[in-house]
Amino acid sequence: MGKFRNRKGDELLGSPQEAMGFSKEYSSLLHNFIIKKYDFSDLNQVDDIKKQLLGRKILLINAKDVLENAEISELKRCIEELKVFLRENGGSMGRLGDTYLILTPNNHIKIAN
């Protein structure tokens, strides 16, 4: 196992995370998240998206199909439902271009807008 030094260089630590100042508890939280591409093609997938987020997944959502095929009012309702869900769980949402969204599951990972 490699040895890493803190900023002052006077203490040997067991991992890069410890050297950067992350506690072991916080470090283990970061290792349990998965980034997943998700194709959002039907408005009925909102419950599955919530389930994926509860499963500690960071979702990169391709919304191209749903943007082309859904009624705007229904799409806005679904997006608002996801925003409420994320707010309640401490997650966040951001846009990546015209057809992608990124959703984080809780307050350990935030998106800066």
The domains of the chain are located at 1-31, 33-113
Per-residue pLDDT reduced to its tens digit, 49-97: 999 999 999 999 999 999 999 999 999 999 999 999 999 999 999 999 9
Question: CA 36, CA 2: separation in Å to the nearest integer?
Answer: 30
Question: Who has greater pLDDT, 42 or 2?
Answer: 42
Kindly report the pTM of this predicted structure: 0.71
The answer regarding whether domain 33-113 maps to CATH 3.30.110.150 reads yes
> In 3-state terms, the chain is what percent helix, strand and coil (to 5)?
40, 25, 35
